Amino acid sequence: MSQDSLQLEFDRLSRDVDSFLFERLRWDREEGPMLAKLVALAHGALESRGDFALTEEGATSDIKRFILKVHSNRIIAIVITLENGRAQVRPEQIERSKYTVRDITPVSAAFNQIDEDWMAAAFKELISRVEAPQGAA
């Protein structure tokens, strides 16, 4: 019996004994570290910019949500999730912001394609969708 098939049997029995607890432990073992990597890459994308900051707000264990601040002004939310093995980063309109988001479609890719360059391109895309209020300068 291969190690993979043994792990599948372990998973089957664990799921049969307590499916809720199995799913929580599976998430902690598999998806949790993937989501943590996405968050680290997101912070890394802004590392060289002291005028930009991400502040966690409204996050859960499986959805990471940050407020993008520029010069301490709340601009938009950035939501980072995993959906069926795909990383997704999407913008959200937020209260107390004068800025709007033209398109909230997520930027998405298979997790195995995610790296610093992908996250930088995703942020570039999301930021390009932010629209300043009329007369702002």
Cα-atom radius of gyration of the chain, to the nearest Å? Answer: 18
DSSP result, 37-90: HHHHHHHHHTTT-TTEEEEE-S--SSEEEEEEEETTEEEEEEEEEEETTEEEEE
Q: What is the pLDDT of residue 43?
A: 96
- Give the pLDDT score at 110: 96
Output the pLDDT for position 121: 97
Is residue 69 situated within a structural domain?
yes
Kindly report the pTM of this predicted structure: 0.84
Residue 127: domain span = 36-131
> Using CA of residue 13, residue 19, residue 23, residue 25, what is the dihedral sign?
negative
End-to-end Cα, the chain, rounded Å: 67
pLDDT of res. 136? 62
- Asked if the structure places residue 7 within a domain, the reply is no
Assigned domain for 46 exists: yes
Per-residue pLDDT of the chain (137 residues; tens, 9 = 90+): 687 889 899 999 999 999 999 888 888 888 899 999 999 999 999 999 999 999 999 888 889 999 999 999 999 999 999 998 899 999 999 988 999 999 999 999 999 999 999 999 999 999 999 998 876 65
- Residue 48 has a CB neighbour count (10 Å cut-off) of 7
Residue 77 maps to a domain: yes
Q: What is the pLDDT of residue 39?
A: 96
Residue 79 resides in a domain:
yes
Domain membership flag for residue 11: no
**Is there a domain that residue 5 lies in?**
no
Residue at 84 is within a domain: yes
Residue (of 73, 79, 16, 76) closest to 42 by Cα position: 79
How many domains, in total, are found in the chain?
A: 1
